[in-house]
């Protein structure tokens, strides 16, 4: 059985643990497909207050994570991960990666989730305050990942997003493996098609007729058309990328043109 082990370096292990017990992620952990452990930098701090932050050099507001306890926590988490997986941590040679969640990192996406899901384990470092002393990032971090262009007050929610995205990619995590193969960013990198369930009529809106018919080939064609169309409307960059890869074949172009023509008719009543 494939298993991915994730160590989270966090000042709020309770927050991380509380979020792990639900839904797909909860089941993946229960089945042993994902193992999550936390390491608290405060456990590596000394002094009466076990302080893990200090004022920034150069002045200004906020505090900065101090190098000692944060590096010690990352090292402890890395050592535990290396011992459990037999794979060394850090470096460019394909070892286990130490990831800092950061607004300044590369954007986390499904392709990255797939890459991380295929590894034996990860150390996820959730920052707080103004962030960590830069020297910790230089010496202990292999990759910085951002959830998007906004600022969170801590990296825990970003770490949880990464854990969830990685967990659902583990074989056996989803009730039906097709769910993972047929969602956004999976089929040709397109967005998912729209979904409907009972009742067939709701508030004057009907489920599209083709989905009610049970004609498999027609349903597949409709879904592909919707996926292409809504990706074209919402994420033209994904269509451009598909085209660049040579994946926008004649059939796809026909479907896209049909979608746009049907939309035009709908708009004009
Ligand atoms: N001073 C930092 C900056 O302006 O880039 C923001 C620090 S933020 C208040 C505290 C922590 O939240 C960061 O150390 C990081 O771990 C996490 N964080 C904030 N925004 C994030 C994002 N968009 N993606 C991932 N982690 C984020």
Q: What is the pLDDT of residue 91?
A: 62
- Look at strands 4-9 and 121-126 and give their pairing: parallel
* Cα 23 to Cα 121: distance, rounded to the nearest angstrom: 21
* Cα 44 to Cα 105: distance, rounded to the nearest angstrom: 26
Q: Is the CB of 155 inside a 6 Å radius of any atom of ligand 1?
A: yes
Nearest residue (CA) to ligand 1, atom 23: 103
Q: pLDDT class for 72, splitting at 50, 70, 90?
A: very high
- The tens digit of pLDDT for each residue in 135-151 reads 999 999 999 999 999 99
Residue 181 has pLDDT above 90, yes or no: no
Three-state DSSP at 100 gives strand
Stretch among 156-160, 186-190, 251-255 having the lowest mean pLDDT: 186-190
Residue 90 has pLDDT above 90, yes or no: no
Distance from chain centroid for Cα 116:
9
How many CB atoms neighbour CB 15 within 10 A?
A: 17
Residues 6+ apart with CB under 8 A from 167: 4, 24, 25, 28, 29, 33, 34, 173
Give the distance (Å) from ligand 1 centre to CA of residue 247: 36
Averaged pLDDT, 51-73: 98
Q: What is the pLDDT of the chain when averaged over all its residues?
A: 95
End-to-end CA distance of the chain: 55
**Concatenated DSSP letters of 144-188:** EEESSSS--S-SHHHHHHHHHHHHTTSTTSSSSTHHHHTSTTTST
The number of the ligand 1 atom at minimal distance from the alpha carbon of 131 is 14
| Contact assessment for residue 200 and residue 212, using Cβ atoms and an 8 Å cutoff | yes
Q: To test the ligand 1 pocket, which listed residue (144, 148, 152) has its Cβ within 8 A of the most ligand atoms?
A: 152
**Concatenated DSSP letters of 12-77:** -HHHHHHGGGSHHHHHHHHTTSEEEEEE-GGGG--TTTT--EEPPTT--SS-EE-HHHHHHHHHHH
| Contact assessment for residue 39 and residue 17, using Cβ atoms and an 8 Å cutoff | no
Which residue would you say has higher pLDDT here, 213 or 178?
213
Give the distance (Å) from ligand 1 centre to CA of residue 106: 12
Percent of the chain with pLDDT strictly greater than 70: 99
Q: What is the pLDDT of residue 93?
A: 61
Q: What is the pLDDT of residue 84?
A: 95
Q: How many helices (H) and strands (E) does the chain have?
A: 11, 9
pTM score, whole prediction: 0.95
* Cα 44 to Cα 51: distance, rounded to the nearest angstrom: 9
Q: What is the pLDDT of residue 176?
A: 80
Percent of the chain with pLDDT strictly greater than 90: 92
Nearest residue (CA) to ligand 1, atom 7: 130
Q: Is the CB of 127 inside a 6 Å radius of any atom of ligand 1?
A: yes
Residue 218 has pLDDT above 80, yes or no: yes
The number of the ligand 1 atom at minimal distance from the alpha carbon of 149 is 23
Residue 92 has pLDDT above 70, yes or no: no
* Cα 166 to Cα 151: distance, rounded to the nearest angstrom: 22
| Contact assessment for residue 70 and residue 126, using Cβ atoms and an 8 Å cutoff | no
Q: pLDDT class for 94, splitting at 50, 70, 90?
A: low
Structure tokens at 173: 């995590």
* Cα 229 to Cα 252: distance, rounded to the nearest angstrom: 10
């Amino acid at each position: 059985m494939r298993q991915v082990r994730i160590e989270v370096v966090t000042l709020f292990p309770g927050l991380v643990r509380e979020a792990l017990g639900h839904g797909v992620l909860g089941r993946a952990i229960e089945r042993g497909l994902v193992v999550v452990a936390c390491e608290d930098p405060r456990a590596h701090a000394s002094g009466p207050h076990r302080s893990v932050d200090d004022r920034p050099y150069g002045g200004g507001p906020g505090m900065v994570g101090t190098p000692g306890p944060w590096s010690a926590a990352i090292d402890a988490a890395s050592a535990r991960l290396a011992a459990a997986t037999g794979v060394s941590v850090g470096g460019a040679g394909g070892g286990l990666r130490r990831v800092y969640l950061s607004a300044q990192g590369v954007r986390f996406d499904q392709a990255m989730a797939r890459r991380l899901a295929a590894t034996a384990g990860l150390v996820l470092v959730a920052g707080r305050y103004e962030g960590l002393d830069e020297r910790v990032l230089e010496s202990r971090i292999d990759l910085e990942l951002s959830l998007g262009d906004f600022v969170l007050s801590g990296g825990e929610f970003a770490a949880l997003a990464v854990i969830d995205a990685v967990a659902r990619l583990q074989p056996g995590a989803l009730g039906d493996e097709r769910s993972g193969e047929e969602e956004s960013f999976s089929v040709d990198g397109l967005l998912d098609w729209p979904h409907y369930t009972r009742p067939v009529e709701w508030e004057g809106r009907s489920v599209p007729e083709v989905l009610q018919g049970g004609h498999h080939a027609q349903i597949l064609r409709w879904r592909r058309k919707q996926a292409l169309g809504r990706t074209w409307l919402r994420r033209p960059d994904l269509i451009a990328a598909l085209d660049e890869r040579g994946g926008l074949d004649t059939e796809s172009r026909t479907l896209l043109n049909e979608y746009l023509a049907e939309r035009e008719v709908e708009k004009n009543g």
